[in-house]
Structure formats: C-alpha cells, structure tokens
Structure 1
C-alpha cells in the first residue's frame, strides 16, 4: 500500500510503498478515507512530543494519529490507536475495535476527521471545566488558529454574551468576526497598545479566558488583569490553559494571582467519560445542523512531502486523503 513514511526522527515523511497491515484477533482492517495533519503529528515526528518514543518505537514508521475510514460493511468510523510502525496516513490501517467510533450518517469523512477533536478542545473546558454561564464574556487568546476559530463559535452556541478574539493575522482576525467574535485584538500591536487593548476589555469584565498561546501574549494579558488599586468588586477570571503556540513558558508574578481574581486551570480539568460521550454527540448535532464551520484544505497523500514543509496553514486544518 501507499503511505506517508518517516525514516528518521526530525525528517520529512515520504510517499512510498509500505507493507500492508493485517488484523489480529479483536482488530479490524480499515480503508482510510481521510486523516488529519495536526501540530501533534509534527511534534511526534520531530521527537519533541512526550510520546514520540511510543509512536516512533520502530522506524521507518507511518505518521498520523487519527483519521476516518471505511469498514468492510461500508460504514465510516473514526479511528486512532494504530500500533507502530503503522499510522493514519496510509491507504489501510489496523486498529483495535475499542479505538473506533461510528460516524453518523450525513457527515462526510473529511469533516468527521477534522472537526470533532478540535471542537472538543474548547467545548470540554467551557461546558464542564469552568461551567460557563449564559451571558458570560469569553476571551479566546489565539482565536485565529483552527481550534480558536471553533472556540469562538462554540462559546456563542453555549450562550456567551460577548466573545473577544486575539490573533496576529489580519485576514484571520476578519474571519473570526464573521464567525461571531464581537471584538478582536491584534497581537501585533506595540506592547503599550496591546496592554491598553487588554485593559479596555478587562474594565468591561472578562469571565473566562481560553488560552491557546501562553508565552508573551498571555503574560501581557495576565499583567493587564492585575489591578492598580485595591478593588473589592469580587471579579473572578478563569483562565484555561490549552495550547502553547507562543511558547511553553511565561513569568507569573505573585500578585497576578493574589490581587486579580485570576484562577488558572488546565484544559483537561473536569473531563469525565460522561462528558466525552455527551460532548461528542453535541458536536455531531452541531455539524449536522451546519452550526460549526472549519476552514479546511484537502490534499492528496502523494503530496505529503510538500505540505509537510509548509510553515503556515493560516488557521486551516489539513486533511490528507489517500
């Protein structure tokens, strides 16, 4: 079969022949129809992910964590959990039955591969992690990325009264306005102007921050939250840390927590099996009702080398099809 094959850690996957996988007991053979190319796939291939050794325990290896394919009965299923050296970006894959989920009728393979997992990264923290109340003000820090754009829409679907989105790309900032953001903040402003922009929104009140960036932008946002005088208004701001596209580190002064009302939690806080079941079904319903939209680019598997070398996808999810 044809596949996207990685020969060395830090290398570029090649489109070439690879041995077909064969199912053992309790495994099923799936004909792949679509696979997602995500940041985590790149991190694993570079050896920068904590689970790189697990997924690249044998080389050469096929890249790709998850995708959608067709079973022998013609039904579409989402899949993950392929054992090394196999992965999602191939014509065929074998996985344990427990690592498959049925795709509802009426949802195509490309949408099913791309949208649900990205949507859940913001649905889980909003609905279960911080228990967002209708009318809340939500700031999406890094709203111009794939998951950030979905976060804007999901916050509105859950009843947010006001959504603020930050980003660096002017075209993408315009796009998040189209998707429902009430206010946008350009992170490419000068440090002084950026602090002023943050403080203006903070004065109106921010209940929840979904942070996909960390690093410099989040550090400036947290600094802006610190009051300049004693304030007993009882304001709480819940910051949910999800991604680190702007860097893994920042400086966190003590008064940022002591005097600002800031509370910080991780994106996986509060997730239960029930939340996964309910949340996934909610996302499927929104997709079928055409309430969630993702910017996607579909590329053939044979172009994997070219697309892998590209530096910026400008908030689009790349879908690889065999």
Structure 2
C-alpha cells in the first residue's frame, strides 16, 4: 500500500510502498478514506513539535474510514463500521492500524471529509473552553487566528456555550468565515488588537493559537480574572508571560495539548468527543472544510497551511 512517510529524522516525507499493517491486541485495522491535515504536521516535519514519533513513521494525525480488521480483545466494533481516529500518526496512507481506545464510530450523517477533520479541531476547542477555562455564558471570548483549523471551532463552540465572541483574523474573507461561524465582533490583523478589544469591554477568556504579537496584545486586553489559553504558536514566536502582570490582574495562563489527555486522562477527551458528536447530530455544529485534495497532493495541502491560505480544515481524500 502507499504511505506518505518520513524514513529517518530530518528527512523530507516521501510516498513509499509498504506492507499493509495487521492489528495486534487492542487494535483495529482501518481502510482510510480521508485524513485531516494539521499545523502540527508541519511542525513534525520541521522537528519542532513537542511529540514527534520515532522514524520511520507515516504522517497524518487523524483519519476517517472503515474498519477492515479487528485485533484480539477488541469489543464494540464490527467489520465495515464507519470510524474516525485521532491517532497521532499513520493517517496519510491507504490503510492503517490504530488503538481501539482512540477510535470512535461516526454518525451516518457525517461525511468522511468532515469526520477526518473533526476530532483535533473540535476536541481542542471544547476541552480548552469547557474543561480548562470554564467559559461561562455572557463572558467575552477573544479568538486569535479565528478562521484557522482550531480557531474557527473555538468561535463556533464559544458561541454555542453562550459567550460573546470576538474573532481576530487576517483579511475580510477570513473574517467573513468567522462571522458565519457565530462571531459577534470582527478585528482584522491590521488593526490595533489591544485597543479594539478594550473598546469592546475587554476579554474574559483568550483562545490563542497564534502566539507572538497577537498573544501579547490579547494579554494586555484581558479583564481582571481573565483566562488565557495557549493552544499553539503559528506565528513561530513563543511569547513569554510576565508573571507580575498575572498577579496584578489576577489572570490565569492555561496550556492545552489535546494529545496529552490520551496519555494521562483519556476519559476526559472521550467524554468531550461524545458531547461534540451529539452536538453534531443535533445540528448544532457545522464543520468547515475549505479544501479537499487527492492523495497525490499532500504537499499542496501542507502549503495551504504553511501559507495560511486555508480556512477551517484541509482534508486529503485517500480513496
């Protein structure tokens, strides 16, 4: 089968023909229909991600497809089940083997394209806002990078949770996407972010996947007892937080890495995903996939993320 693999550290990924894997105990074999791309895929290739698999490995953190084989001691799945997996690796291939504990059945109404880009983006935002920051109805939520893969879901979930949402993004087209997802106020990247947020009454919760100047401006626009959630650093600039400012304004800085929950509190991530899938079935969530590309255009998809030319998710259709 074909797979998009990194053969050794510091080497660029290539399409290779490899033997199809067979599931062991606790694992499922899956015929992969679609795989979601994530900014973390770029960081893994650059060697700068916090959780890089040992080479050789196949890229692709999340997938959707059909169960093709069932390993020993696995219960609750049948051959042919439509499933999604947040695997961390192995997704950009025609087939894969994944832990059953990371696998969920998807609703019949959910397309493979939607399912392949659902778990990381929505899971990250729901865990960040509901579990970590305890976002409350009526509070003001500021989302930087609000048209990106995770940012757009933060806008949508924040609005669903009853917050007033301020979306910060680059350009009218991206801001329009954030508005369609529920944003109440829009701030272009060319504007003075701190001044505009303060004009709107300040932020109670900041959801930041950008870092750099955007984080620093958002930090200074927080209301007392504000919570700042660090999701990522797409700008490449990891900001330093002045602890004395945290103290004076009684602020809380919060880190969120969804992959970590599968290592130390998997039940939290699983409960969150169950809630999100229920919301999807109830029609309360509408995933936004801006690009669906064929298997031989993975690099084009990565460039869309690298150049910030996508909104929502970029998905690779494998078969």
Measured against the shorter chain, the TM-score band is 0.7 to 0.9
Determine if contact 2:204/2:222 at 8 Å carries over to the other structure.
Answer: no
Shift of the alpha carbon at 1:95? 2.5
Mapped partners of 1:273, 1:48: distance in 2: 25
CA distance in structure 1 between the partners assigned to 2:92 and 2:121 by the alignment: 18
2:234 corresponds in structure 1 to 245
Structure 1 unaligned runs (5+)? 227-234
Shift of 1:70: 0.7
TM-score norm. by structure 2 comes to: 0.84
Contact 2:203 2:221 in 1 (8 A): no
Number of the residue aligned with 2:67: 71
Q: Which one of the candidate residues 181, 184, 190 is aligned to 2:183?
A: 181
Helix, strand or coil at the partner of 1:144: coil
Matched with 1:231 is none
Q: Secondary structure at the match of 1:218?
A: helix
Indicate the SS of the match to 2:150: helix
* In structure 1, C-alpha distance between the alignment counterparts of 2:29 and 2:246, rounded to whole Å: 51
Asked if structure 2 preserves the Cα contact closer than 8 Å seen for 1:214 and 1:248, the reply is: yes
Match of 1:45 in 2: 45
1:196 aligns with 2:195: yes
* 1:157 corresponds to: 160
**Distance in 1 of aligned mates of 2:241 and 2:117:** 34
Structure 1 contact 222–256 (Cα < 8 Å) conserved: no
Are 2:314 and 1:315 aligned?
Answer: no
Matched residue, 1:57: 55
Q: Deviations over 1:220-279 (max 9, x none)?
A: 2223459xxxxxxxx321111111112343243454223333221212599754532332
Larger Rg, first or second structure (1 or 2)? 1
Matched, 1:218 2:220: no
SS at match of 1:3: strand
Alignment of 1:280-295 (within 5 A): 280-295=273-288
Comparing 111-120 with 73-82, greater Cα deviation is found at 73-82
Work out the number of aligned pairs and report it: 301
Give the superposition deviation at 1:300.
1.2
Aligned pair in 2 of structure 1 residues 183, 35: CA closer, same or farther (>3 Å)? same
Matched, 1:303 2:297: yes
Aligned match of 1:118 in 113, 116, 121? 121
RMSD (Å) for aligned C-alpha atoms: 2.6
Structure 2 residues not aligned, in runs of 5+: 69-78
Question: CA offset at residue 93 of structure 1?
Answer: 0.9
* TM-score, normalised via structure 1 length: 0.83
Aligned partners of 2:27 and 2:194: how far apart in 1?
Answer: 54
**Aligned partners of 2:170 and 2:189 also within 8 Å:** yes
Q: Relative to 1, partners in 2 of residues 1:107 and 1:258: Cα closer, same or farther, differing over 3 Å? A: same
